[in-house]
Structure 1
Amino acid sequence: MSQALSKGREWLVIIALLSLNIVEQSASVVNATIPGMAKTFSNESLVHIELVTTIVSVFVTIFVLLSGAVVKQIGQKKTAILGLAIAAISSVIPAMSDNFIVVIASRAVLGMGIGLANPLAISMIGVFFYGDKRARLMGWRSAIAGIGTAIMTYVAGKLLVFGWHAAYWSYLLFIPTLILFIFFVPDPEKTGAVARQEAEQAKEKAAAAKQGRTLKKDSVGLIIVYTVLIFLLLIFTMVFAVKLPTFFVQSHIGTATQASTTWSIVNIATVIGGFLFGPAYKLMRQYVLPLSIVLGGICIFLIGKSNSVVTIQVIAAISGIASSLAIPYIFTRVSESTTPQRAPFFTSVVLVGSNLGSFLSPYGGKILGATAQQAVMNAGFSEIVLAVILFIAIIIMKRSGAKAQL
């Protein structure tokens, strides 16, 4: 971080960057409005009503890829502000409209804004911070996103008593983040943060050279590996999430409500895991990735073999903590292995892999098993296999002195 900034200003920057991650996951906070909207828009099918969530994801995916091109034209800070401004304005339009086309169009525009800002939530942490602090913040970002989304969902639920329109005012919580970005986050290109990041990477290369190693930056092959990896992880995770209620009911373990409680426990555990990532990364480095995946996979597999709600919920908590270490690791490594100029684009590519994994997970569930139990168990087993492959790859790369490390 810039030495010119006071500790107080630095914390404002950290809060701004972390709160930007809340925007990333905000599309679903108004899902509870769907029944009310179905009554208002009685001429529309339920499938069309449910587009209020899914259409956001489509446009997020598109504009995540376009974000890098916008950054090249106007810079990282201005792109983040543009995305936040678009999201803040478009998100509250449904609160003031009874026109279904206007509501759906505003949700599409919300996806555009989120897509533009989303990659900057990650790449700007990589530009402003280094080493263990960067890793710690990468872990915090997923934890804060979970907490922030939960708060927005709670606020939307409370506002819902005044009608479904009122729930959309919960998006006014975007405004503090926008203000923080405008007034407190430095421009990376103009204030020398990019230059400092380049100098830091030059030090890393020099240190590696003394040890007889060569560090390769902007490795397209490595980014492809991370993209495929996060794509697969999101498929396995979402198959577990989607199939869990059906698994509870089909296997006579419990009710769908108990399954929902179990998934809430997983989400709470991921917040804990997010805060633990920094210390874990400092201690284990690249082994965090396969260890987190193998432990998460074992837990999911064991859940598929269990028939006790309490047992499943205990294992689910362990699974949430373990699995939540993998995603921060991937984005930390993207920041470490790319130059500041290309980090936004490469981050966007990996995020597309994440979004596609979530989107295609229902098809993944069909492939993984005919029943919910089979799908859950095979999702866990697939993670175990993936972790073993990663362990082998890390060992081979270390022994061969590869320029890029996982």
Structure 2
Amino acid sequence: MRLLVIYFTNVEKLEGLNMDKSTKMRTIIGIIVLIFANTAAGGAEWCSSALADIANVFPDVPYSVITLVNNIPNLCAVVFTIVAGVLVNRKITLRNMLLIGIGCHCIGGILPALFGDTSMTMMFLGRFAFGIGYGLMQGIGISMSLKLVEDSRFRSHAMGWAVAAQYAMNMVAQVVVGHLCAIKWNYSFFVYLWSAIPFLVVLFLCPKFELDKNDTSTTGGKLEAMAKSGSLGQAIKGLPPIVWVFSAIAIGYMLCYYPMFLVISKIIVGRGIGNSVTVGNAMVFYSVATIVGGVVFGFAEKFLKNKTMFVMLAVTGVTMLGLYLSHSFASVAAWLVVSGIFSTGIIPACISAFSESVDEENKFLATSIAESGVNIGAFLGTPYIALIEAFGGSADTAMFISPIIMLILGFITLKFCKKDSKS
């Protein structure tokens, strides 16, 4: 329903633009493809509700290994996000890349539902196949608007709708997964059957663009130009140290924060607060809060200025401690709301912290490096939990340790933000 509202609102806005009929029709079709394709551009955390049930089915498997259900896609994303950017439009048409990405998203997604109920190997194989599609779609999910939406006046709006489609799908999926898991844990993965719908939308509606070896529309243009001229290595070496500092902070932040997605099911189910349905409902509070956080971030940054990352890291750390100590649904939901609002701005604040220190032609490169740190940090959440278990702790102990590390990271950002403002 939400996607239909977005669509009809877009059509009304299009009426106010001076376009010929053919351009208007191509724009409308492009927006439809963009919105539906982006509902299959996320999903690594959709089955978080099932992790506790999976751990109960495989009691001899350490919980840190179980978390690979979420984290294998994050590892794949580090590689295939780059692969998508390099190949799309130049070696593989956008339409075919979307079909490959969404196809892997769907088939790999449902494999654990079909064959994973007795085999961890089949479940992980399915998650790897899903991760390929997840990485490809992450690489082109938003930037495909540059190709699909011809009118530049409408393009920035289209990017926003693409993000809204991802958020909307995340909220719906969390609820659906909870109910599917209540029937049988591996049925949770049937949620990825949804991807068959955007697959058909792309198959029948996506324009068949010609290959263009010089096309750089989905990789930021200048990055590809640097690679061709042989100056990419020099550009990387020439990035100011603050880029690497905040990229490392992005890794550290996600290393500390991603365990929340990995253990929230264990906290709710393991402490008798509820079942998988309860986990899905709780995560809806988080999903809604992330939208709020995205809306208020700009205002918060203007008010907090150099203290933005410090405050957001500190408060997010406190929410993790709150979740660790929670023993009721009301408490879990409240902490997830605060966590969603404050955590959403951390990576944008991280990028904003070094953007003024980077030359205009290198900003896309610097941002890509920082965003790669997000996936790397998320994947490292699994060995982080494994290390805690190796010392005799439980997986949810990460929620107690992480706030300390995040507070330290906050003080580091405070120091470097001040240095950057002086320079």
Per the TM superposition, whether the score is higher than 0.5 is yes
Q: Deviations over 1:231-254 (max 9, x none)?
A: 2222322455667798899xxxx9
Q: Which residue of 2 aligns with 1:173?
A: 194
**C-alpha distance 228-137 of structure 1, shift in aligned 2 (>3 A):** farther
Q: Which residue of 1 aligns with 2:72?
A: 58
SS of 2:141's equivalent in the other structure is helix
Q: CA RMSD in A?
A: 5.6
Q: Which residue of 1 aligns with 2:285?
A: 268
Q: Which residue of 2 aligns with 1:88?
A: 106
Q: Which residue of 1 aligns with 2:312?
A: 292
Q: Which residue identity lines up with residue 192 of structure 2 in the other structure? A: Y
Tell me how far apart the structure 2 counterparts of residues 270 and 156 of structure 1 sit (CA, whole Å): 19
Q: Deviations over 1:32-68 (max 9, x none)?
A: 88489x6xxxxx9853999787267336514531442
Tell me how far apart the structure 2 counterparts of residues 282 and 64 of structure 1 sit (CA, whole Å): 31
Pair 1:79 & 2:93 matched: no
**C-alpha distance 240-170 of structure 1, shift in aligned 2 (>3 A):** closer
Of 332-341 and 105-114, more deviation after overlay is shown by 332-341
Q: Deviations over 1:98-133 (max 9, x none)?
A: 995666544432333323333333554798789985
Measured after TM superposition, the shift of residue 217 of structure 1 is: 12
Pair 1:234 & 2:250 matched: no
**C-alpha distance 65-330 of structure 1, shift in aligned 2 (>3 A):** farther
Tell me how far apart the structure 2 counterparts of residues 218 and 124 of structure 1 sit (CA, whole Å): 29
Tell me how far apart the structure 2 counterparts of residues 34 and 375 of structure 1 sit (CA, whole Å): 19
Q: Which residue of 2 aligns with 1:20?
A: 40
Of 385-394 and 240-249, more deviation after overlay is shown by 240-249
**C-alpha distance 239-223 of structure 1, shift in aligned 2 (>3 A):** same
**C-alpha distance 134-320 of structure 1, shift in aligned 2 (>3 A):** same
Q: Which residue identity lines up with residue 140 of structure 2 in the other structure? A: L
Measured after TM superposition, the shift of residue 227 of structure 1 is: 4.0
Tell me how far apart the structure 2 counterparts of residues 240 and 195 of structure 1 sit (CA, whole Å): 32
> Which of 189, 194, 199 lines up with 2:217 in the alignment?
194
Measured after TM superposition, the shift of residue 83 of structure 1 is: 2.0
Of 301-310 and 354-363, more deviation after overlay is shown by 301-310
**C-alpha distance 383-281 of structure 1, shift in aligned 2 (>3 A):** same
SS of 1:23's equivalent in the other structure is coil
Q: Which residue of 2 aligns with 1:156?
A: 180
Q: Which residue of 2 aligns with 1:146?
A: 170
> Which of 380, 387, 394 lines up with 1:357 in the alignment?
380
**C-alpha distance 379-369 of structure 1, shift in aligned 2 (>3 A):** farther
- CA contact 2:250–2:347 (8 Å) conserved in 1: yes
Measured after TM superposition, the shift of residue 390 of structure 1 is: 1.7
Of 183-192 and 385-394, more deviation after overlay is shown by 183-192
Q: TM-score, normalised by structure 2?
A: 0.62
Tell me how far apart the structure 2 counterparts of residues 189 and 323 of structure 1 sit (CA, whole Å): 39
Q: Deviations over 1:138-180 (max 9, x none)?
A: 874663353143144146347x46xx77655432201122234
Q: Which residue of 2 aligns with 1:257?
A: 273
Q: Which residue identity lines up with residue 340 of structure 2 in the other structure? A: G
Q: Which residue identity lines up with residue 99 of structure 2 in the other structure? A: I
Measured after TM superposition, the shift of residue 364 of structure 1 is: 6.5
- CA contact 1:334–1:346 (8 Å) conserved in 2: no
**C-alpha distance 361-328 of structure 1, shift in aligned 2 (>3 A):** farther
SS of 2:61's equivalent in the other structure is helix
Note the residue ranges of structure 2 that are not aligned, 5 or more in a row: 1-13, 223-235
**C-alpha distance 66-223 of structure 1, shift in aligned 2 (>3 A):** farther
Measured after TM superposition, the shift of residue 72 of structure 1 is: 1.9
Percent of paired sites with the same residue: 13
- CA contact 1:119–1:348 (8 Å) conserved in 2: no
- CA contact 2:69–2:127 (8 Å) conserved in 1: yes
SS of 1:20's equivalent in the other structure is coil
SS of 2:297's equivalent in the other structure is helix
Q: TM-score, normalised by structure 1?
A: 0.64
Q: Which residue identity lines up with residue 382 of structure 1 in the other structure? A: I
Note the residue ranges of structure 1 that are not aligned, 5 or more in a row: 39-43, 200-215, 401-406
Pair 1:322 & 2:338 matched: no
